[in-house]
Amino acid sequence: MQQTITFPSGTVDHFFQASFAEQAKTYDKQHTIIVTNEHISKLYGQLFKGFTTLVIPPGESSKDMNTIKSLANDLLHAEATRKTTIMGVGGGVVTDITGFLSSVYMRGVRFGFAPTTLLGMVDAAIGGKNGVNLGFNKNVLGTFTQPQFIVFDSKFLDTLPNAEWSNGFAEIIKYACIFDAGLFEELSKNDIDYYKQDHTALNSLIERCVALKNNTVTNDEKETGLRKLLNFGHTAAHAIENLYELPHGKAVAIGMVIACMVSERVTGLDPEVRVKLMALLERYNLPVKMNIDHKKAMEILRMDKKRHDDMIDYIVLNKIGEAVIHALPLGEIETALIDYEGKN
């Protein structure tokens, strides 16, 4: 099922419930280059037959300028031009790298994604944010550039490790918290096994999350206002993700718990919401407690992109399904981290 979404900067073709193998037959192999990682290449390399394929090591450590430089050299050696299409096939690291590389190579070439993880399908591949890390600082270097197409083939998820299913559900739970109380209730009644076994429910869930994110991005592509809501849980998460080498979803889970604690102080959020959220996170095998060194976390937070002077735009909840942006003093965040640290 093809759906075209129009953003201020252009259109993106979404192919839902698609077959990557069938979709790949429609691409010009001579002018299409695939970027993927070693895991995906090993599992699905047969699907890339006939394409020039660039393979990177898996994991967050690849998401830096050294990888971009290496891939750019590979593109030159492959004689890639402005008429080349680059396709990222993989999780969020692969799609972030592919988007950034495509945005800057020869000042921009056509690109698209085939996300292979749940996290990639519901979040990372959508919205036009592309970036790489600078040390501990997440996505400090990046662009806002939309892909031309995204292929959603849920068959890729058949080989997804259990931990990666949980990572994806962290972002799905985030959408429920900030936009959709009904989704929160649906998730509370089900679990990972349910969605693994019911492909109709899974595809419906993916499309629902994509719609929630696209509706936000179409109204605020460059993240000047409404799109900031998508950062719920991510401010603290980015501070601890690289610091403790946590998977993104696990870091976001912890970040959402901390964001609820901040919300209780700032908006008067009912503490029962945090209790419900923690129960839901645990239902999807996500952590709610960990030991955090608040001083080290604050060192990273002070370099957060959302900081201005001693304030930071922080996403808090009024209630489940309703999030708001608050400019908070960094000291308010540190207080929440200290409070969280004291309870774990």
Active site residue 164: no
pLDDT of residue 143: 94
Helix-, strand-, coil-residue percentages of the chain, each rounded to 5: 55, 20, 25
Active site residue 77: no
Q: Which of 228, 248, 294, 306 is catalytic?
A: 248
pLDDT of residue 138: 79
pLDDT of residue 58: 93
Active site residue 238: yes
Active site residue 133: no
Grade residue 87 by pLDDT with cuts at 50, 70 and 90. very high
Q: Which of 63, 129, 138, 250 is catalytic?
A: 129
pLDDT of residue 33: 98
Reply yes or no on whether the pLDDT at 180 is more than 90: yes
Q: pTM of the full predicted structure?
A: 0.93
Q: Which of 228, 238, 294, 306 is catalytic?
A: 238
pLDDT of residue 102: 97
Reply yes or no on whether the pLDDT at 19 is more than 90: yes
Mean pLDDT of all residues in 312-318: 94
Tokens of 278: 């923690």
Q: Report the percentage of the chain scoring pLDDT > 70.
A: 99
Grade residue 17 by pLDDT with cuts at 50, 70 and 90. very high
pLDDT of residue 305: 66
Q: Sign of the CA dihedral 265, 285, 276, 157?
A: positive
Q: Which of 63, 231, 241, 294 is catalytic?
A: 231
Mean pLDDT of all residues in 120-131: 95
Active site residue 332: no
pLDDT of residue 136: 76
Reply yes or no on whether the pLDDT at 303 is more than 80: no
CB 230 within 8 A of CB 252: no
Q: Which of 171, 207, 221, 264 is catalytic?
A: 171
Active site residue 171: yes
Q: Which of 221, 223, 241, 264 is catalytic?
A: 223
Reply yes or no on whether the pLDDT at 154 is more than 90: yes
Active site residue 308: no
Active site residue 129: yes
Mean pLDDT of all residues in 282-292: 94
Full set of structural domains in the chain with CATH:
2-159 (3.40.50.1970), 170-342 (1.20.1090.10)
Write down the mean pLDDT value for the chain: 93
| pLDDT tens track for 253-269 | 999 999 999 999 999 99
E strand spans, the chain: 2-7, 10-15, 32-37, 52-56, 85-90, 110-115, 129-134, 137-144, 149-151, 307-308, 311-319, 322-329
Q: Which of 14, 138, 174, 213 is catalytic?
A: 213
Active site residue 326: no
> From its phi and psi, is residue 48 left (phi > 0), alpha (psi between -120 and 50) or beta?
alpha
Q: Which of 227, 228, 274, 294 is catalytic?
A: 227
Q: Which of 17-31, 37-51, 148-162, 327-341 has the lowest mean pLDDT?
A: 327-341
Active site residue 248: yes
| pLDDT tens track for 198-226 | 999 999 999 999 999 999 999 999 998 99
Reply yes or no on whether the pLDDT at 161 is more than 90: yes
Reply yes or no on whether the pLDDT at 28 is more than 80: yes
Reply yes or no on whether the pLDDT at 342 is more than 90: no
Q: Which of 63, 174, 228, 234 is catalytic?
A: 234
Mean pLDDT of all residues in 56-67: 93
pLDDT of residue 301: 83
pLDDT of residue 238: 84
Query: Residue type for 161, please?
Result: P
Grade residue 239 by pLDDT with cuts at 50, 70 and 90. confident
